[in-house]
Amino acid sequence: MQFRDLQKQYKILKSDIDYAIKQVLDAGNFISGSQVTELESQLASYAGVKHCITCANGTDALSLALMAWNIGEEDAVFVPDFTFFASGETPAYEGAVPVFVDVEEDTFNISAESLEQAILQVKEEGKLVPKVIITVDLFGQPADYPAIRKIADKYHLLILEDGAQGFGGKIGEQMACSFGDISTTSFFPAKPLGCYGDGGAVFTDNDDWAALLRSYRIHGKGSDKYDNVRIGINSRLDTLQAAILQVKLKAFREYELRDVNHAAERYSCQLADYVRVPFIKEGFYSSWAQYSILLDSEEERNGLQAYLKDRGIPSMIYYPKPMSRQTAFEGMDCVKTDLSVTEQLCCRILALPIHPYMEAEEQDMVINCIKDFKSCRS
Ligand SMILES: *Cc1c(COP(=O)(O)O)cnc(C)c1O
């Protein structure tokens, strides 16, 4: 069994993907082909945002946003402690100070309450200027934007939505990657919408920021590539990846999102009496980058992972370590707050195989294994 079966997806989309790739090879327009701008307008219209700027990966997407806002020394950037490293790495790389904030116990997303406390703590210490909140749409569910936006407005902070795992999610009818002042996503192969290598995108409604993002993405270009008006980076999405994404976006919209939600529902119905299943807020919709359950203890979590492995079922731990405890942040300028929920989650969480092409029989194997494991322990 595969954790996320990309070969199966390819088998089903093969003729369209092979044709799209062949068109790029025949035209030889490997960089900045027309597929890139076509994809950008398709992604912008899907997310309901004015501008989409594609780039080389989801990490660069975050960096580009911070560059456009000129975030650096003495700026405080608030980041959830329970996320992939890039969310905290990028503000630190720009010279800003990451402030680690705890998450909600039920959704695993940044806690509005802990965020406000962290902002007050930084203001009271008086050394840093609070500038940006990086919200993460963890495992596919949008963060609580109604609550976070209120806090951002109250303290005059910008929201950078890290939608690397959240593309396709919604609150009501509003799509993920439209909640931030700038929002980003990743097309890493295992993300909800993935390409066949690295890729990413930045979204914003703001014309000035969009122009800056387009410039920073290509060596700080001015009127053309050989007119350089600022120090930028080289971070383009190549034409092959854009062509592949155009095919995959169609499947994503037409049935993949629906099918992965169906699979998640099936897990939750069958497992709710045995383990803590994911909690989706009223009116929220997840794109299920991960389906993560909570066990009672670290010992039980590790036991279940070994039990599944012996039976050929892969599972993953996202994340085994709070970001604030990564070696890279040791002795570095950063601010820690009360992070006790994150500490707990790292010990108890386990992600199960899920993807839009998962068969009911495969899912039943996983479900029965978990039931057996729980019953032989009680
Ligand atoms: C994957 C991921 C990123 C980085 O995306 P890459 O395309 O791998 O650079 C950033 N933030 C989160 C939350 C992610 O899951």
Beta carbons within 8 Å of 2's beta carbon, 6+ residues apart: 8, 314, 353, 355
Q: What is the DSSP letter of 158?
A: E
Q: What is the 3-state secondary structure (H, E, C) of 99-146?
A: EEECECCCCCCECHHHHHHHHHHHHHHCCCEEEEEEEECHHHCCCCHH
Give the CATH number, domain containing residue 175: 3.40.640.10
Q: Please indicate, yes or no, if residue 207 is contained in any of the structural domains.
A: yes
Q: Are residues 271 and 204 part of one domain? A: no
Q: Report the pLDDT value the prediction gives residue 163, as an integer from 0 to 100.
A: 98
Please count the residues of the chain: 378
Q: Are residues 17 and 116 in the same domain?
A: yes
Helix, strand, or coil (residue 11): helix
**Residue 86 Cα, ligand 1 centroid: separation in angstroms?**
6
37 shares its domain with 12: yes
- Same domain for 75 and 193? yes
Is 152 a pocket residue for ligand 1 (Cβ < 6 Å)? Answer: no
> Both 178 and 310 in a single domain?
no
pLDDT in tens, 242-265: 999 999 999 999 999 999 999 999
Determine the longest span between alpha carbons in the chain, in angstroms: 69
Q: Specify the amino acid at residue 299.
A: E
Ligand 1 neighbour 107 (Cβ under 6 A): no
244/285 same-domain check:
no
pLDDT of residue 224: 83
Instruction: Give me the pLDDT at residue 167, please.
Output: 98
132 and 63, same structural domain?
A: yes
User: Which residue is it, tokens 């050989």?
Assistant: 226
Residue 194 lies in a domain: yes
What pLDDT is stored for residue 107 in this prediction?
Answer: 98
pTM of the entire structure? 0.98
pLDDT at 331: 86
344 and 204 in a single domain? The answer is no
Task: Say yes or no: 195 and 274 in one domain.
Answer: no
pLDDT beneath 50, residues of the chain: none
Is 90's C-beta closer than 6 angstroms to any atom of ligand 1? no
Residue 198 CA, closest ligand 1 atom number: 7
DSSP for 263-293?
HHHHHHHHHTTTSB-----TTEE---S-EEE
Q: Which residues of 244-283 are buried (b: 16+ CB within 10 A; e: fewer)?
A: bbbbbbebbeeebbebbbebbebbeebbeebbbbbebbee
pLDDT of 225 reads 79
The predicted pLDDT at position 43 comes to 98
Pair (72, 194) in one structural domain? yes
Question: Looking at 195, 219, 248, which one is the last position of a domain?
Answer: 248
Count of structural domains within the chain: 2
Cα Rg of the chain (Å, integer) = 21
